[in-house]
Structure 1
Amino acid sequence: MTKGAPYRSLRGISAVVALLAIGAVGCSEVSDAVDGAKDGAKKVARQRSVFSLDLGDCYNPNGAAEGEAYTVEIVPCEEAHEGQVAGEFSITEEKSYPGDEAVSAIADKRCPVEAAKFAPDTWALPKGVAVFYYTPTKESWATGDRAVSCTYTKESGTFSGTLNSAKTLKSEQTAYLKGSNGVYDAFWTTQPEKDSVEEDLPGYKAQAKAVAAALDTHLTGLKGIDGTEVGKLREQLSKTAEHWKKAANAADANAFYIAYDSAFSGIDPEKSVAARKELGLATTVPADEAEVWAS
């Protein structure tokens, strides 16, 4: 690819093609050099343009810093790799290039949604795996590039196997995850920017209303799932939903705080572990979520 060719921007990781130089002195060094050359040749043969990434592709980026990406190494998913394409979409709402920050804002909003369709149970993701994305740059946009590739990428080290669990989940597992993910999506996507309720009571009430609605949807889905622990969770979340509704209708900050304490603790991920175990889902609360509720 020529120097002036368009590239795509990778947030969190960058990829550049590496050149391999080998020298041999003794027999063992020659053997090592040959093995290295073979590995290098395999890596070169697996190079693909970032424009050709497809949903489900497992890959290794050719670099480790944020920046522009031209190529990645596509590998079989059973081999150790750093990332997997977990979602795709095109930016159709913008006629002209909106700028790097605007493109990132679009990807920040849509990639977690797309990735969740690919791997609904985020608790089952390998430790250290997070959502990253390849996005168009001003240069590639000019050539017609509008695609965003959402990925699950390990920030340090590698993992093996595909993360695509959507097709292997049972109906009750899917129903549970859809409802549960909806609750936490509602909580995080409506989080007010102000740190205190006094500074933005309407914003916090709007968040409470969104979480209460998501809980109602989750509870509807749980009605069709059998199990002792699921039943206990359903009963507990019913009470929690009422606390969120009280917070949503709070007359002032004090009334909001009174309802919010029970509302917030009611969606503590730890309280869903027993039901998850009963459903055959992952039971280890992700460290970042555990930290939020522990504080």
Structure 2
Amino acid sequence: MSFGVTSRSMRGICAAVALLAIGASGCSVAESAKEGIKKAARQKSVFDLKQGDCYNPNSKPVPDGEMAEEFAIEVVPCTEAHDGQVYGEFKVEEGDGTYPGDDAIVEAADTRCPAEELKFAPDTWAVPTGVSGSYYQPTKESWSTGDRLVTCTYTKDSGKITGSLKSKPMNADQLAYLKGSSALYEALWANQPEAEAVEDDLDGYKAQATAVNAALDTHVAALQGIDQPETVKLRAQLTKANEAWKKAANAADVDTFYIAYDAAFTGIDPSKSVAARKELGLSTAVPADEAEVWAG
């Protein structure tokens, strides 16, 4: 499977540790040998990773955008500092059985892994800063042996992850809020036109507004069942914002769109949901990338 790391065989790691142990002399070398044996005992095939596993790759990372192979990794208790954690997996559709190519697998992973993440950690605001999603995918060679699995994982830009990132059990109100909120922002960004100016793609921006309007309809309807003061206020605010999204979706010209869009976009500023999130017992730290977008 490939992941942007260098391949390394289980046999090679075990052999190196055995040689080190045989030739060890002195306390520091002996301790090093112990650590090597401990690391070897924790080795697990990348094909056998399971949801929730915390791990350290054996190989050094490669530059962004590059891809290399990994065979075995060190699986560790999540209570120890670690480099990654598995949050989900899915099988690539086989089609006619031939290898679909890296681009097709990447496209599938970019869609499916975020969905798996929401099952593992529904409140994405609670994921620590610097942690992002990655995945192990089949290579052309592993595909020929029956490998169809994409393993979705958390990794950190720098430093280590401490503890498991899996969410604690949530109540119905929390899950209802998070489901609607996630769908709302997914509709916003998944339908973002490539053109930066509305003048260059009015139809594209209207299609985005239509998608956000539909997601907000669902989100607001779900919030109807949550009778807590801050959530009631948020529902009223989102209802007003949705009226603006609907106007933007039906705008006859660019000027009309801009007038509606300003109120629509401001109305879904994530910072305006902090009070309701606190009331529901959810994370209240707005992710830095989202805060930056609405800060303008």
Fold in common (TM above 0.5): yes
Matched, 1:91 2:84: no
Corresponding residue number in structure 2 for 1:120: 122
Structure 2 CA distance for aligned equivalents of residues 45 and 22 of structure 1: 15
Listed as ranges, the gaps of 5+ residues in structure 1 are: 1-7, 24-28
Matches within 5 A, 1:1-295: 8-11=1-4, 13=5, 16=8, 30-63=26-59, 64-65=61-62, 66-92=67-93, 94-95=95-96, 96-165=98-167, 168-295=169-296
Note the C-alpha offset of 1:93.
Answer: 5.2
Counterpart of 1:241, as a letter, is N
Count, aligned residues? 281
Structure 2 CA distance for aligned equivalents of residues 125 and 158 of structure 1: 13
Note the C-alpha offset of 1:16.
Answer: 3.8
Structure 2 CA distance for aligned equivalents of residues 94 and 157 of structure 1: 40
Structure 2 CA distance for aligned equivalents of residues 15 and 280 of structure 1: 43
Structure 2 CA distance for aligned equivalents of residues 9 and 196 of structure 1: 38
SS where residue 90 of structure 2 aligns? strand
Structure 2 CA distance for aligned equivalents of residues 286 and 264 of structure 1: 17
Structure 2 CA distance for aligned equivalents of residues 62 and 250 of structure 1: 55
Structure 2 CA distance for aligned equivalents of residues 106 and 143 of structure 1: 20
Give % identity: 59
Cα deviation 1:74-116 (Å, max 9, x = unaligned): 1111211111111111111533212112211111121111111
Indicate conservation of the 8 Å contact 1:14/1:61, yes or no.
no
Question: Where in structure 1 do 4 or more consecutive aligned residues deviate above 4 Å?
Answer: 17-23
TM-score normalized by structure 2? Answer: 0.90
Note the C-alpha offset of 1:226.
Answer: 2.1
Note the C-alpha offset of 1:191.
Answer: 1.2
SS where residue 51 of structure 2 aligns? coil
Note the C-alpha offset of 1:184.
Answer: 0.6
TM-score normalized by structure 1? Answer: 0.90
Listed as ranges, the gaps of 5+ residues in structure 2 are: none
Structure 1 CA distance for aligned equivalents of residues 46 and 100 of structure 2: 21
CA RMSD of aligned residues (A): 1.8
Counterpart of 2:269, as a letter, is D
